[in-house]
Structures are given as C-alpha cells and as structure tokens.
A and B are shown apart, each in its own frame.
Chain A
Amino acid sequence: MSQQTIRFLLDERAVEVGFNDSPELSPTTTLLKYLRSLPGHKGVKEGCAEGDCGACTVVVAESGEDGKLVYKALDSCLVFLPMIHGKQVITVENLAVRKNNQVILHPVQQMLVETNGTQCGYCTPGIVMSLFALYKNHHEPSREVIEDALTGNLCRCTGYQPIVEAALKACTNHGKDQFSDKEKETSDQLSAICRNKSTLTLKTPTHTYLKPFTLAEALSLRGLHPGALVINGATDIAMRQTKSRELLTEILDLSAVDELKTWNAGPDGFIFGAGLSMEQLKKFAAGKLPALYDILSVFGSLQIRNLATLGGNICSASPIGDLLPLFYVLDVGVVLKSAEAERVVPISGFITGYHQTVLQPDELITALTGPRHSVGTLLKTYKISKRKNLDIATVSAAFRLNLNDGMVAGIALAYGGMAETTKRATLTEQYLSGKKWSRVVVENAMKIIESEFSPISDVRSGAEFRKIVARNLLLKFYVETA
C-alpha cells in the first residue's frame, strides 16, 4: 500500500497533509508558501525565491543515529512539501518559550537583540534560524564556522558585524535548549512516521509526485515514469517553478533513498552515493580530500549544501558546475542503474554537451567512483567568481599533477566556464607531460592554454578575463606546488 498523505512535525505539532482535499496545496507547493499560508507563520519571508538570500530559512530536524536529531538549515523556498515527510520543521515563531505571560527568547534571539543585530528586520527570521542551526550543531564556533553558517543569509542593513558578535555570544551552551529536552520524544515521533517504507504516491489532477524509500522501488518507478523529473535536493529544479513559473507535473523524489547516501573509501579508490548532500560530502572530504573540501567550501551556502546532492550536481551537466573540473581530473566513473542493468561511464563521456548527458530515461545515477591516486599526487581546485562566496564561477579549474624527480609524470587540467562543458586542456597536458615542472615550462604552457579555449563574454565577465584567468591559474598552481 502506498502512502497518500505526508506527515511531519510542524514545531511541536503533528501534521498530516493530503493533497486532494485542499485546492490550495499541490505536491510541489514549497514549504515557504505552505508555512506562510498558515495562521501565525508569517515570520518566514520570501526574499528571492531562488535560495540566494536566506530570508526563508527554516530548520529541519531529522532522526540521526542513536535517537539523536540532526538539525539543518534549509531555504524553504526550494523545498517541496513532500520533502519534509518524516521530519520536524522548526520555525522562527517557535524558538522563544512562553511561560506565565513571559516570553523567554532563545539564546540566539536574545543575543541578536542585545547586539542590535536587527535593523529593518526582514532578513532576521532567516538569520535567527541559521543561528539556531549553528547553536544546535556547534559549541563555541570559530569565526570561520559562523561565517559559513551565515553565508546564505543576505542582510542589507547591518553589515553583519553585530550578527557575528551575536553568534559568538550565543553558541556557548552545547546546543542545550527546550528542543534538547524533548529530543528523545521528538525522535520517536519521527521514527514512527518513517517506519512506513511504502512509496509516497501523491496524485492530484495536475500532479504526480512519487517518493520511494528504496533504490529498487526508485528504479522501478523510474522505468514506469520515464517522463518524471528526478529530484533529490531540488535546488535547481525547484527554480523552474518558483522563477520560471513552470508547472512541474511529474516528479520522482529520491531524497528518502538511503542506499544512495553511502560512501566508501578504500585502497582501490572511493565510491560516493549520488544522494549524498554537498554538506555530507564536505564533511567527508575534510582532511581526506582537501581539493574537494576547498571547492565545497565555496559551493553555494550551507542551506544549499544541505539540500543539493552529488547526483543532481553531475546530472545538471552545467559548464560552470563547481565540482565537475575536479571529477574530470580524477577521471571519475558515473554509475548508472536501471531496473535491469548497471553501467559505469567515465565523467567525460557522461556529459555530452551543454546540460546534456547520456543518462537514459530508465536510468538513475547511483554513485560516483574514483580511483585512488598515489600518495604524491598533487590536486588543487580553484573557483574564480565576482563575489567570493555564494556566487557562480566565472572560471573554475582543477589540476592533478604527479611529479617524478621534478619531471611531470602525470597531469590533468580541467576548466569550467571556458567552454560549453567542463573541458580538459589536453594540448597543454600533452605539452607538459614529461617536461620539467619549472616556471619557464609553465609559462610556455600558459600560451597553449590560451589557444585551447574560446570562452564567451556574458554577464559574469568578458572573454578576455576568462582567458587571462585560465592561464594564470596554471601559474598559480605552479607557485603553490613548486
């Protein structure tokens, strides 16, 4: 039996939503729209409808290991309602405790008041929720952690300084608050909802929304609904609705398929599940794969990284995808599965053109596999954008180098933003192979890079800038590795 309603906790309250009985709601109604339609939930704001400003930030708690809850800040403008099935949504209205006619503010709220971290107040509910997630996840966070937690919250009034100060002052109690007191109870309630593993099948006259809980079921549904849009975090797809006003009629949501969220790194290499969120990937990469960690540190914002997944990122085959240059130089394999078969395609063969891939209508990306590189492999990623954080790359690059006695034994140079897909600088690679890794050689190679690409001028920069940056990045790589 499939489930035809979604169930979640809204703050403390258990909520069940069926989509056939309410004309106002459809399965692709965003969490933001839903919340704002409720009485007493106008705190959450729409500032941009594309996950850039964070005014719509809410915190979602889900069951983790040992009955612990995991708290994540999300942009509610990009979340379709069924994505919160089995989770707790915490909103700004529910952070303060009301006792005997007294309002006791949550520590993050109290500190924001004390530091005058609010001016016009419109971004504040989102800031509060990002601070709340920070409070739950970090004790005495560093400035770097604070900045990362708030990158996805634009404020036009304060200049952020008092908000940093509030974060420093508030997050000093190991995340303890009224939510930790009820953690076990909440976790049990969520587990009870999640126990039912039959596919959420939400059908209305206009929409079909399918949310399976197992890979087998997902693959079977993929075969049955080849026209369905496959989503996981939906950070890209949701904008087709919120910004382009497209009606998304058929959706296959993979966000509950746990089998896609595994990873493994061994002597033979690594395998990353396609359903891993960018934030999970970042945590994995810390210390193990610095080049991946570096690029993920400037990938969107925490709210976006909590939603966006590896599979979605590869599948969108964007010429400016942040991770793709790294995957190109690592020669990763894309694991594609259908109900009947499985194949592994190298990334460079997987992407065939501007937003084009070889993915068949009955296939899903299930994982990414990569070889283990020798200890001496030098690997670096670069992202050049107008604004350091929360921006789309003007040019990105990843370089892999193996030196043998100062000679180039292996080299791979991949660029984003320089062509209609991510592209290797193969002529430059050939030139460098076997040569001495020296400044003179690198400077000669820079001339070749320039000849290998014909970038375009667009809103992010002119072609000239892209050309100069592309060659300079090689020099930068040399300076950092020599």
Chain B
Amino acid sequence: MSKPLSHDSATGHVTGESIYINDMPVNGQLLTGRVVTSCHAHARIIRIDISEALKTAGVHTILTARDIPGENQMGPVIHDELCLAETETTFIGQAIALIAAESEEAAIIAEKLIRIEYEPLESILSIESAMAANNIIAPVRRITRGEVEPALRKAPHRLSGEMRTGAQEHWYLETQTALAIPGEGREMKVFASSQNPAETLAIVAEVLGLQKNEVEVEVKRIGGAFGGKETQGNHVAAWAALLADATRRPVKIHLFRDDDQVMTGKRHRFLSKYEIGFDDQGMILAYKVELNSDAGSATDLSRAILERSMLHAENCYYLPVVSITGQAWKTNLPSNTAFRGFGGPQGMAVIENAIDRIARFVKKDAASIRFLNFYRHEENNVTPYGQKIGNNRLFLLYERLMNSSEYLGRRALVDEFNATNEFYKKGLALMPVKFGISFTTAFLNQAGALVNVYTDGTVLVNHGGTEMGQGLHTKIKQVAASELGISPDRVRVNATNTSKVPNTSPTAASSGSDLNGMAVKNAIDTIKSRLAELARKEDIPADTPFEELCRLAHLNRVSLSATGFYKTPGIYFDRETGQGNPFHYFAYGMAVSEVMIDTLTGSHSLLRSDILQDVGDSINASLDRGQVEGGFIQGVGWCTTEEIKWDSRGNLLTHSPDTYKIPTINDIPADFRIELLPNVPNDGTIRRSKAVGEPPFMLGISVWLAIKDAISAAGNHLSEPALKIPATHEDILLAVNSLPLKQPLL
C-alpha cells in the first residue's frame, strides 16, 4: 500500500481525454437549457409573459413553476426551496423560468423576450438587518458546560469582541452542469456533476413526479466541487430533467461562469460575538460565543453547517466553562451551502482570534498560549459537547512542528527584522486544527458498494462516493487491489451510479474513503469468503492465480459479485442537549506561517508555511499531500484575497474572476513544507488511515494570524489590530493606519 499510485485519471487529465459532462458526445437531438433568473432580491412576481419568447426560432419549450409535473421543491433537508419561483422571488439569481433551445444563441434571444413584472419588496441583505427583523431560519442552538456568566465575572481578565468571517465562492473550474436524457415512458437518466447522486435522484424524481426507481443518476467525475455540489449540483440536474421531460429530448445545462457565481450559494459568512475569561498565564477559564451565520434565502445545509461550527468553536482547547450559541439568519441572498470545512473554519477563527488577543494582553507569544490551553491526555480532555478526546496528537504535532519550523529562532529573527524596518513588517503564527470526522447527522454515516469480479480476474468496483479530484477512486482501487491481493491495474472503479449502489450519502465531511473504503472491503470480504470456501471444497491449491480461481468459481456456480455495506459505529448526538459522541475520531494538523506586509500599501507576501498533518497510516501519501496543499491554499484564499461584495440591492459585485480573486501560483508560500505525521496508525478505519479532505483548509488561518501579528508589530505589539477575514490589502492598510499608538506617517 505504500507506493504512491498517481491519480487514477491523471493520464486522461493531461491528455485532455478525461470526459466531463460538457464533453460528452450526445446525439444530434441535444438541446441547450438556459435558466432565467430574478433580478430582484425580494419582489412579488406579478406576471410572467413567455408568449413572445416562445416564438423564437429554435426554442422548443419554456417552463415556469406551473409546468412542473411533480413537486416544486428542491430543498435537500428542509423543503423550503422552490425549484422555480412562483409568486415571489427571494434573491437575485433565483430561477424563474427554463428555456430549451437548439442553440445557446436562440435561448439567449428568447430570454430577452420573456417579460417578468415585479413588485419590489423590502429586502434583507445583511446578518445585522436579519437580526433586527428577527428573521431566523432555524431555532437557536446551544452547547454549554457550567455557568458561563459567573465564570467570566470571576476570571482575572476578560476580553470581548466581534469577529467577522466572509463568504467564499467555491470557484470549482467546472461550473454547475447536468445532462438529462429521457428514456422509455417517463424514465430519466441524468449525468450530474453532483457530490450527492442519491439526493440528485430524489430531487429529480420529486420535481418530475416519478418514483425513485424511474430515475438514474450517474457521476463519472466532477471538475471540482469543494461542497458547492453537495446540494447545489441538484439544481441544474432538476432543471435539465424538467426540460428533457417536457421536450423528450436530451437537455444539457452548463452554467456560464458569471451566472454560476450569481446563482449559487457560498460559504456562510458569520458575525460572531465572544467573551473570554483567562488568568495571568493566559489559561482560558471561560468562553462565551454567539455564532451568527448568514443562511441566505433557504435552509439548504445551514443547520448542519452551524452545528459543525459550534462543534469546532473550541478547536483544540479545553474550555472548563463554556457557552456556545448558534443562530442561522435568513437573508435575500442565494442559499449558502457546504464549503470545505463546513462551518468549522468560522467557528475556529473566533477562538483563534481570541487567543491571539490573550497573548497580546499577557505579552506572551501566541503559540505558547495555544500550547497552554491544549486538550490534555488524562484530564481536561472532554469537549464542550461531552465527547472524550482519545489519541490526542496535539503535543506530538506541536513539539515536532516547533522544531522543524524553527519557530522560536524565527520569532527572534522576525522581531529583529521588525525593529530595523520602518515600513515592512513580518509576522509569524502557529495554528492547530482538530477536526471531527463523521457527519454530525448520524444516519448519513453509512455507505454501500457493489463489487463485480469477472471470470478473467478483473474487478469492477462500484461505490457511493464521487470522484471530484480528491483521488477517492484511486484510494478505493488501492484498497480493493490490496484486499484481493491483485495488481491495481486489474481493478477499475466505475462511475458512481444510483442504479448500482442506491441510497448513498454525499461525498462530503472528508468521509469519502473512510465510509466507501470500508463498504468496498466488506463486499470483497464476502467474495473472498466464498472463494475460500470453494478452494477448501475443491481442494484448489493456494498458489492458484486469481483469474484461474475466478474461472473455477464461475464453473462451480459461485457468485463473483457482492454488495458491501458499512456504518460508522458508536456515534450519536443529541441536538437538544448539545451533548453526544458525534465523531468517530479527530484529524489533527498544525501549521506555522510567516508573512511580510508592506505597511504603506497593505500588500502582503507569504514567505513560508510549514504544515504537519496527521493522516493516520496514509493510503496514498501523494494524494494526501495534494489534499493538504490544496486545502491549505484554499484556506489562505478565504483569509486573504477572496472577498465577496454585494451592492445595496443585493447584486453580487464580485461575479467573475475579474473581481473575485482566488489564489494564483504566485500566492503560495515561497517556501512551502508539508509533512505527514509518521507512525500514527488510526485504529478502526480503512487501512488505519485518517480523513484529510477538509482539515488542512483551516490551517490557512495561520496566514491570517501571521498577517495580524505583522500589523501588530507596526504598533510595537501595544494594541490590538482590528481585522476581519479576509484580510485584504485594504483591511491590512486600514488596520495599520488605525493603530492608536503608531507614529502617524504624516
């Protein structure tokens, strides 16, 4: 298992031969689907007139809500999200009508001829205004331990404040895409770019008014998802299916980049308020935090995301007395959705910022305050939600990373640099991450597989997980080959298909290989036990080649196909009491980042990042490194240049890469060092590995903390820089300029 196998599709990727939905050959019947959307954040729809548009040459149909044969609904958890708006529109970019035409040009001409009459209503476009209007999307949630108010009052020192973290656009390279092909009767096959084919199926069936066994959803590969296609890939699939059902022709929808950015939800922005009590040493005595998220116009996954942010509000720190409150607010913006980290980053950022403040207050290095407050092994090892921390890797990581990154020596160098440079300032920061692995919605922690072995000894693996670049299929292939004792090139992993493995969970929560790997192993165990029994009965020598054994099995009427199933043991969580054991285990990581800022312009450069990540026994170290590097850089983007802005009417201003800035190759650390923590097998998981998809994202916060440290240095660390996430050049410059004790430049 140790030799890193390259990504299963790597050769296809580099030769351009890998097929994405938009590249699929379809017969000459294919129609282009186009989505007509609202231009008002909140308005009554008085009238929709499609009569002129329908006359456009090449247009086959135009659908509005009344044409939906099934239920007009695509809310994944709570049914509060219309597939097509009916009498009211609740955000700019909301789908109102669908066009199927022979060409994109014809569809665009028709779109311009559709007349929609609106009566604008007052809209809510910020968390503050949602709060003022008490516009909640779900009941408030709490996790508490002890009585926080008295504990805060008794603490020798207290700090309180507000922390804002921004929205983030997924910016998957492949925009939302689906191809729907009608079959016999009303059967529908959908090729979707979805992290959750089972849910795509459910929603397509629902809007079409079909039974689930009449719809088939297939996902070959996804051109990037990051959570953005966990629920919102369903939307284009439902729209394409409606058009295909109405025209009885294949229909493809491939969103234009700007439309994708305008129409789809983002990472939830948060406005959080906190109060933290601590002693002279910087030991935390009590922490109170209110996490307020902007859910957008519908629930989508907002409840689970808020829950995860609450479950990560303490990050790696033992909080003896704590109160965590979570509230999701409803606004007239696209419904915000899953994004790598799933609320974790927003929860952690608040306490990391608070600890940064404590360090400045007690005049100690922030890394030492983090260390002081880490969960311990034998005591102080229970989370606010009652789960005991086992196999705590924090001390192992801290010691190793402090050494390998030469933290203390570089701290001295940074101080020296800052003392001798007037306009450039350096900052250094360490950031630990503890990330709970499992869906916090317990029933989702299940997976299925179907393994077919053929008589030539080749193997076709079907499982419920989707391949979106993370290398899941490669890991599954390795697991299957290793469990069967054959070469990986004898194993193929099939496109994910709801007719092969039904009722699956999304590929999300970093759980893809954990769950599906186990399900595949389970199926293979069944086949292996059948083969072993055959060998015993028929006295087949142990050294018989696998293909010969398969041939013999077939001749002896032994089934070479088996399903597999897995459910994560021992996890539960009571949402009412905020207590339970929601996670199978924790994945740990730690990063040290060093930046330099220009106090005259607010620009920054990322000089070095050292990352140490705990992935258990890695199934594929090369793929795991890829997740660490990629996740970290995405986190850096969230913390620095990725800023989303709307105007006062709710129009997205940052609707293309012209104005929305994800990291380029120039934005990665000049010196970028990744290490996977060695010799830490994780019992009870597939090949004793750990999940790695999301945890490294939050290590990107180390860069934000380092920027804050550099700003602080501009004021000789005497005052607290005011900084939000992301810290853009504008934020950095304004923070520098508002340092009260800084010598004014003029």
Residues of chain A within 8 A of B672, CB atoms compared: 159, 161
Looking at A150-158, A212-220, A269-277, the stretch in contact with chain B turns out to be A150-158
Q: Contact check: which of A161, A243, A392 meets B668 at CB < 8 Å?
A: A161
Q: Is the CB of A42 within 8 A of B16?
A: yes
A386 within 8 A of B: yes
Q: Is the CB of B257 within 8 A of A48?
A: yes
Q: In whole angstroms, what is the CA distance A243 to B258 when docked? A: 9
Q: Majority SS of interface residues in chain B?
A: loop
Interface residues of B in 561-609 (CB under 8 A from A): 598, 600-603, 605
A55 within 8 A of B: yes
The residue of chain A having its C-beta at the shortest distance from the C-beta of B726 within the complex is A386
Q: Contact check: which of A92, A124, A384, A446 meets B729 at CB < 8 Å?
A: A384
B435 within 8 A of A: no
Take A120-B221, A156-B226, A459-B653 as given contacts and tell me if A394 and B256 are in contact as well, using a CB distance cutoff of 8 Å: no
Interface centre among B601, B664, B665 (most CB of A within 10 A): B665
Q: Is the CB of A387 within 8 A of B667?
A: yes
Q: In whole angstroms, what is the CA distance A447 to B746 when docked? A: 8
Q: In whole angstroms, what is the CA distance A164 to B469 when docked? A: 18
Residues of chain A within 8 A of B99, CB atoms compared: none
B710 within 8 A of A: no
Q: Is the CB of B657 within 8 A of A119?
A: no
The residue of chain B having its C-beta at the shortest distance from the C-beta of A239 within the complex is B658
The residue of chain B having its C-beta at the shortest distance from the C-beta of A243 within the complex is B258
Looking at A221-229, A424-432, A460-468, the stretch in contact with chain B turns out to be A460-468
Q: Is the CB of B15 within 8 A of A121?
A: no
Q: Contact check: which of A53, A95, A105, A465 meets B657 at CB < 8 Å?
A: A53
The residue of chain B having its C-beta at the shortest distance from the C-beta of A49 within the complex is B257
B13 within 8 A of A: yes
Q: In whole angstroms, what is the CA distance A121 to B6 when docked? A: 13
Residues of chain B within 8 A of A55, CB atoms compared: 173
Q: Is the CB of B224 within 8 A of A464?
A: no
Q: In whole angstroms, what is the CA distance A475 to B598 when docked? A: 12
Interface residues of A in 142-189 (CB under 8 A from B): 146-147, 150-151, 153-164
Q: Contact check: which of A43, A103, A122 meets B224 at CB < 8 Å?
A: A122
Q: Is the CB of A52 within 8 A of B224?
A: no
Q: Is the CB of B657 within 8 A of A52?
A: yes
Q: Is the CB of B661 within 8 A of A387?
A: yes
Q: How large is the interface on B (under 10, 10 to 19, 20 to 34, 35 or more residues)?
A: 35 or more
Q: Is the CB of A388 within 8 A of B658?
A: no
Q: Is the CB of A150 within 8 A of B223?
A: no
Interface centre among B14, B20, B222, B258 (most CB of A within 10 A): B14
B719 within 8 A of A: no
A50 within 8 A of B: yes
Q: In whole angstroms, what is the CA distance A42 to B15 when docked? A: 10
Interface residues of B in 720-746 (CB under 8 A from A): 728-730, 733-734, 737, 745-746
Residues of chain B within 8 A of A109, CB atoms compared: 11, 14-15
Q: In whole angstroms, what is the CA distance A323 to B741 when docked? A: 38
Q: Is the CB of A125 within 8 A of B423?
A: no
Q: In whole angstroms, what is the CA distance A103 to B14 when docked? A: 12
Take A113-B11, A392-B658, A447-B746 as given contacts and tell me if A151 and B664 are in contact as well, using a CB distance cutoff of 8 Å: yes
Q: In whole angstroms, what is the CA distance A245 to B34 when docked? A: 15
Beta-carbon contacts of B3-21 to A below 8 Å, as 1s and 0s? Answer: 0101101111111111110
A358 within 8 A of B: no
Q: In whole angstroms, what is the CA distance A91 to B662 when docked? A: 26
Q: Is the CB of B14 within 8 A of A157?
A: no
Q: Is the CB of B654 within 8 A of A120?
A: no
Q: Is the CB of B468 within 8 A of A120?
A: yes
Q: Is the CB of A42 within 8 A of B664?
A: no
The residue of chain B having its C-beta at the shortest distance from the C-beta of A150 within the complex is B665
Q: Is the CB of B10 within 8 A of A113?
A: yes
A390 within 8 A of B: yes
A401 within 8 A of B: no
> Total contacts A to B, CB within 8 angstroms?
245
B656 within 8 A of A: yes
Q: Is the CB of A48 within 8 A of B666?
A: no
Looking at B35-43, B87-95, B442-450, B626-634, the stretch in contact with chain A turns out to be B626-634
Take A118-B7, A121-B12, A151-B665 as given contacts and tell me if A52 and B734 are in contact as well, using a CB distance cutoff of 8 Å: no
Residues of chain B within 8 A of A476, CB atoms compared: 423, 598, 600-601
B174 within 8 A of A: yes
Q: In whole angstroms, what is the CA distance A114 to B4 when docked? A: 10
Q: Is the CB of A95 within 8 A of B15?
A: yes
Q: Is the CB of A159 within 8 A of B632?
A: yes
Q: Is the CB of B656 within 8 A of A48?
A: yes
Q: Contact check: which of B223, B629, B728 meets A122 at CB < 8 Å?
A: B223
Residues of chain B within 8 A of A471, CB atoms compared: 746
Interface residues of A in 101-122 (CB under 8 A from B): 103, 105, 109, 112-114, 116, 118-122
Q: Is the CB of B14 within 8 A of A112?
A: yes
Interface residues of A in 410-463 (CB under 8 A from B): 443, 446-447, 459-462
Beta-carbon contacts of B409-439 to A below 8 Å, as 1s and 0s? Answer: 0000000000000110000000000000000
Residues of chain A within 8 A of B602, CB atoms compared: 384, 465, 469
Interface centre among A114, A128, A460 (most CB of B within 10 A): A460
Residues of chain A within 8 A of B598, CB atoms compared: 476
Q: Is the CB of B745 within 8 A of A443?
A: yes
The residue of chain A having its C-beta at the shortest distance from the C-beta of B628 within the complex is A159
Q: Is the CB of A48 within 8 A of B626?
A: no
Interface residues of B in 689-729 (CB under 8 A from A): 728-729
A123 within 8 A of B: yes
The residue of chain B having its C-beta at the shortest distance from the C-beta of A116 within the complex is B622
Q: Contact check: which of A116, A154, A157 meets B664 at CB < 8 Å?
A: A154
* 21 A-B contact pairs sorted by A residue (CB < 8 Å): A52-B658, A53-B657, A92-B16, A93-B16, A109-B15, A112-B10, A119-B471, A151-B664, A151-B665, A154-B171, A156-B170, A162-B629, A243-B258, A386-B730, A387-B664, A443-B746, A459-B654, A465-B729, A472-B745, A475-B745, A476-B598
Which of B's residues lie within 8 Å of A, judged by CB?
4, 6-7, 9-20, 22-23, 108, 170-174, 221-226, 256-258, 422-423, 468-471, 598, 600-603, 605, 622-623, 625-626, 629-634, 641, 643, 645, 653-654, 656-659, 661-668, 672, 674, 728-730, 733-734, 737, 745-746
Which of A's residues lie within 8 Å of B, judged by CB?
42-50, 52-53, 55, 91-93, 95-96, 103, 105, 109, 112-114, 116, 118-125, 128, 146-147, 150-151, 153-164, 243, 245, 382, 384-392, 394, 443, 446-447, 459-462, 464-465, 468-469, 471-473, 475-476, 479
| 4 further A-B pairs in the complex, CB-CB below 8 A; given A45-B173, A120-B221 | A103-B11, A119-B630, A124-B14, A159-B630
